[in-house]
């Protein structure tokens, strides 16, 4: 016979929220980084990043997004599209002051116009203006050559390689660093290359995986892992947190 107590217990279990996954015992990056990805995918789903119509548009966006919010980049790209300037040839031909006016909303517009010009000049000089030819270059070599172009730093080069060229390089940004540091997976002074290799050495070399993972981390950074007052209680990565942000997290082995 079913007792009143067991009926009540079953009813309570039905309305109880699902318990978060237990934090892993093995806290090495090799174990934790794939788990972060799994947890975020389950919680947030596919991100469909980068929002662009062509690989060249990704490159333009990667340069324009430096030091500004994406919404400002979108405005600039819409203007460039309307003016039919979203091709390497058109960007090379348009006078710099005119180009700067079109991209004004993205901030630092004169410098960014110069950077866009530098990229299209590099593309024509080294690859005959062909993105397909450029992306056929090996990842390591192309990365090095992109980094030599005026205005292209590691984050921009890696965004171009990954999101426009489908090369397996992990893009690191301020959100990525902050999340890793708060979880004790990277030191306070960890540099770009250190964090990039941490991901690349502990995950399969897979452009699709890196593409999605970076976008998921950006989402976490924007929604929960803010500079001040991170919302760990609501964050999907909360169950993995060993020490609360603000306390000094221990560097894990």
Nearer to ligand SF4, 4 or 19 (CB): 19
**Is the Cβ of residue 117 or residue 182 nearer to ligand SF4 in the bound state?**
182
Q: How far is the CB of 42 from ligand SF4 (least distance, A)?
A: 15
Of the pair 143, 177, the CB lying nearest ligand SF4 is at 177
- Angstrom CA distances, 69 to 72, 83, 105, 155, 161, stand at 6, 22, 10, 15, 21
Minimum Å gap between C-beta 135 and ligand SF4 is: 33
Nearest CB to ligand SF4, comparing residues 123 and 237: 237
* Rounded-to-integer distance, Cα 123 and Cα 130, Å: 7
Place of tokens 């980094």: 147
Measured from the CB of residue 6, what is the shortest distance to ligand SF4 in angstroms?
Answer: 37
* Region for residue 26 given its phi and psi (left: phi exceeds 0; alpha: psi -120 to 50; beta: otherwise): beta
Instruction: Give the largest CA-CA distance in the chain.
Output: 86
Give me the least distance between CB of 17 and ligand SF4, in Å please: 17
What is the Cα–Cα distance from 41 to 219, expressed in whole angstroms? 11
| Contact residues: ligand SF4, CB under 6 A | 179, 182-183, 220, 224-225, 230-232, 235, 237-238, 241, 245
């Amino acid at each position: 016979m079913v007792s009143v107590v067991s009926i009540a217990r079953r009813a309570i279990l039905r309305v109880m929220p699902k318990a978060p996954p237990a934090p892993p015992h093995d806290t090495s990056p090799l174990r934790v980084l794939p788990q972060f990805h799994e947890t975020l995918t389950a919680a947030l789903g596919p991100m469909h990043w980068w929002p662009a119509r062509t690989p060249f548009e990704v490159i333009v966006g990667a340069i324009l997004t430096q030091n500004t919010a994406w919404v400002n980049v979108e405005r600039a790209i819409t203007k460039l599209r309307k003016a039919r300037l979203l091709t390497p040839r058109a960007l090379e031909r348009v006078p710099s002051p005119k180009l700067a006016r079109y991209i004004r909303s993205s901030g630092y517009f004169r410098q960014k116009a110069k950077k866009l010009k530098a990229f299209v000049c590099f593309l024509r000089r080294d690859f005959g203006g062909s993105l397909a030819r450029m992306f056929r270059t090996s990842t390591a070599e192309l990365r090095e050559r992109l980094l030599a172009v005026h205005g292209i730093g590691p984050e921009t080069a890696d965004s171009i390689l990954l999101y426009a060229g489908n090369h397996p390089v992990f893009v690191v940004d301020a959100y990525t660093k902050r999340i890793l540091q708060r979880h004790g997976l990277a030191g306070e002074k960890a540099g770009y290359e250190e964090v990039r290799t941490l991901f690349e050495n502990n995950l399969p070399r897979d452009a699709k995986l890196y593409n999605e993972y970076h976008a998921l981390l950006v989402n976490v950074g924007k929604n929960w892992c803010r500079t001040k007052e991170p919302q760990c209680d609501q964050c999907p990565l909360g169950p993995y947190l060993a020490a609360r942000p603000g306390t000094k997290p221990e560097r894990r082995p």
